[in-house]
Amino acid sequence: MTTSRDWQQIESEYYMQTVRRVPVTLARGKDSTVWDDQGREYLDFVGGWATATLGHSHPAMVQAITEQAGALIQTSNAFYTIPQIELAQLLIDNSCMDRVFFCNSGAEAVEGAIKVARRYGALHRDGAYEIITALDSFHGRTMTTVAATGQPHYQEALRPLTPGFLHVPFNDIEAIRDATTERTVAVMLEPVQGEGGVNVPAPGYLAAVRAWCDEHNLLLILDEVQTGVGRLGHLFGYQAFGVEPDVMALAKGLGGGVPIGAFLTRGRADALTYGDHGSTYGGNVLTTAAALAVIRTVLSEDIPGRVRAAGERMINALRAVADRHAAIVDVRGMGLLIAVQFTEEIAADLLAACLERGLLVNRVRPNALRLMPPLTLSNADMDRGIAILEDAIAAVAG
Ligand SMILES: *Cc1c(COP(=O)(O)O)cnc(C)c1O
């Protein structure tokens, strides 16, 4: 029998070594639990990297995918398909946005948003093209979204970068004001920075950015790839801050684990026209059928409301753990996007200690773990996971 370690050995010889993986070979999942190829069980606080909106293998998704796979899998966008149109309608009717384009990933969604801004600048702003983004942001791994990302370590090996991006400190409205010139066409931000360490902006920051964009005819692009679709306890993150974007990017939670992304425009930002964009698989009938099942379930079961309550409960429970362990310096987040920060760079050791005890977590910084469980996480699983985490902290940090 081929063991987990055998598979990992084969991977090391055949697969490009770009990601340092956790030494677990996953084979099955249900709700907030996953099993490895040997049948060992783990509670999953990584949640398919914040994609598991409905948990693993939710029956509504399984049914939608199975039925659609039996009917039709791919058509190309030369033709209409009903799930794509229904999903578009559902997203627009439940957001402040007016139009949507479906793609296959977060990076592609952000690429689309950037195209919208470039095209808007060409049409309405005398060729303005520069986009202000934040330090510690993450916008994707394509050449252009890497240039947009405000973390130099993603960029170092890839120069020259796509021009037209300016990075300023997050949570600093003055920095955006100072960076704005006649070349600026847009400001692009994550409502809460995810990969940057779960950084929640101060109250009023996003509203101040919105006001500045209105004053200067700039587009506000919100990269909601991680924050969208319930993660922050609202269907979309912008609703938590009372700020409406002109362009929004979605992906992770939208497909509930199936690869789909979207970028959406509101009003004057509807700048793309025939020939400006396209995609062979974008809006594919199988993935849109899956996402349709996700969004319908999110709405009918008020997942955002449940996440609001669960997030508060989880942050409070983690703050109680912090009171008992001096190694924790900060617990922060919103909804079910939470980081626990430590005095020392012990996140890798903690990840290993959690793994031994049957809990999957993400090391978002050398000194911080990120928790992004399925949005359907039960209170019992939440408590079990936090107890494992506390035990791991006691073992690693004393
Ligand atoms: C994950 C992420 C992306 C990139 O998404 P991919 O699907 O990995 O291309 C972009 N922006 C944000 C905010 C993300 O969290």
pLDDT of 4: 77
* 225 pocket-lining for ligand 1 (C-beta < 6 Å): yes
Which tens digits make up the pLDDT trace of 333-363? 999 999 999 999 999 999 999 999 999 999 9
Query: What average pLDDT does the segment 309-337 reach?
Result: 98
Whether residue 199 is predicted with pLDDT greater than 90 in this model: the reply is yes
CA distance 7 to 22: 13
What value does the mean pLDDT take over residues 110-122? 98
Per residue in 220-279, pLDDT tens? 999 999 999 999 999 999 999 999 999 999 999 999 999 999 999 999 999 999 999 999
User: Which one, of 104, 37, 43, 39, lies nearest residue 374 by Cα?
Assistant: 43
pLDDT class for 3, splitting at 50, 70, 90?
A: confident
Please classify residue 127 by burial: count the beta carbons closer than 10 Å to its beta carbon, then call 0-12 exposed, 13-18 middle and 19+ buried.
exposed
Tokens encoding 329: 């310096």
- Indicate whether residue 138 lines ligand 1 (CB < 6 A): yes
CA distances from 227 to 72, 160, 299 (A): 31, 30, 16
| Mean pLDDT of the 381-391 span | 98
160-177 pLDDT, tens digit each:
999 999 999 999 999 999
Q: Choose the residue to mutate in 170, 193, 198, 226 for probing ligand 1, maximizing ligand atoms within 8 Å of C-beta.
A: 226
Q: Which residues contact 139 (CB under 8 A, 6 or more apart)?
A: 107, 110, 133, 145, 146, 148, 149, 188, 223
Peptide bond into 366 cis (omega under 30): no
For the Cβ of 104 lying below 6 angstroms from any atom of ligand 1, the answer is no
Give the distance (Å) from ligand 1 centre to CA of residue 58. Answer: 23
In the prediction, which pLDDT does 398 show?
A: 80
257's enclosing H/E stretch is none
Q: For 120-131, what is each residue's pLDDT tens digit?
A: 999 999 999 999
CA of 258 to the centre of ligand 1 (A): 14
Alpha carbon of 237 to ligand 1 centroid (Å): 15
Return the pLDDT at 2: 78
SS3 42: strand
State yes or no: pLDDT of 39 exceeds 90.
yes
Mean pLDDT of the 83-92 span: 98
Average pLDDT, the chain: 97
Atom number in ligand 1 closest to CA 137:
13
pTM: 0.98
Any atom of ligand 1 within 6 Å of the Cβ of 111: no
Q: Which two tokens stand for residue 133?
A: 């983004």
110 CB near ligand 1 (under 6 Å): yes
- CA 296 – ligand 1 centroid, Å: 23
Q: For 47-159, where are the E strands, in sequence order?
A: 99-103, 130-134
In percent, the amount of the chain with pLDDT more than 90 equals: 98
- Backbone φ/ψ region at 230: left (φ over 0), alpha (ψ -120 to 50), beta: left
Going from the Cα of 194 to the center of ligand 1, the distance in angstroms, rounded, reads 9
DSSP tag of 264: E
Query: 10 pLDDT exceeds 80?
Result: yes
pLDDT at position 1 over 90: no
Decide if 48 contacts 375 (C-beta within 8 A): no
